[in-house]
Amino acid sequence: MQIVYYGSCCKVEKPEIKEGKFTKDFGVGFYCTILEEQAVRWAKKYETSFINKYEYNENKDLKIKEFTLMTEEWLDFIIDCRSGKKHEYDVVIGAMADDQVYNYISDLMNGIITRTAFWELAKFRHPTYQIALCTEQALKCIKYIGSEEL
């Protein structure tokens, strides 16, 4: 069991997977993190902000993709997901392409910078970590344990 966090504008006792108008790093899913300070940054984007806490129990029967490092494979996966391509995983874990890193990815996708330039720029970003629960089966891996208003 591991504690994971979700920063939001409200208490989220029953997480849901919602199709959004914007594509995300690891596709459609409910995104949480083991880094409480990262969840605080997510929550601070809202006028009213909450940190939601969950117990995460990994289910080894699910299809899980974990990126332990920011690699070419990680970058290609994010480019595919941000381009709308679907994947087969229930859970995807790895570094987050925050707003600045995503700008670098957009520049790479648009031919403005090279992969070499991307890696030079990305290496100076602070560490991030996200867990994308991409299916209803994956959502069963987390149990709500409480919220705190910031």
Question: For the segment 27-76, what is each residue's pLDDT rounded down to a tens digit?
Answer: 999 999 999 988 998 899 899 999 999 999 999 999 999 998 888 899 89
Within 13 A of 44's CA, how many CA atoms are on the CB side? 6
For position 2, what pLDDT does the model report? Answer: 93
Q: What's the rounded Cα separation, in Å, for the pair 137 and 61?
A: 10
Q: Round the average pLDDT of the chain to a whole number and report it.
A: 89
99: confidence class by pLDDT, cuts 50, 70, 90: low
Which domain covers residue 83, as residue numbers? 2-149
> Is a pLDDT exceeding 90 seen at residue 104?
no
Q: What is the pTM assigned to this prediction?
A: 0.84
Percent of the chain whose pLDDT exceeds 90: 57
What total number of domains does the chain contain? 1
148: confidence class by pLDDT, cuts 50, 70, 90: very high
For position 1, what pLDDT does the model report? Answer: 83
Give the distance from CA 66 to its chain's centroid. 12
124: confidence class by pLDDT, cuts 50, 70, 90: low
| DSSP state, residue 111 | T
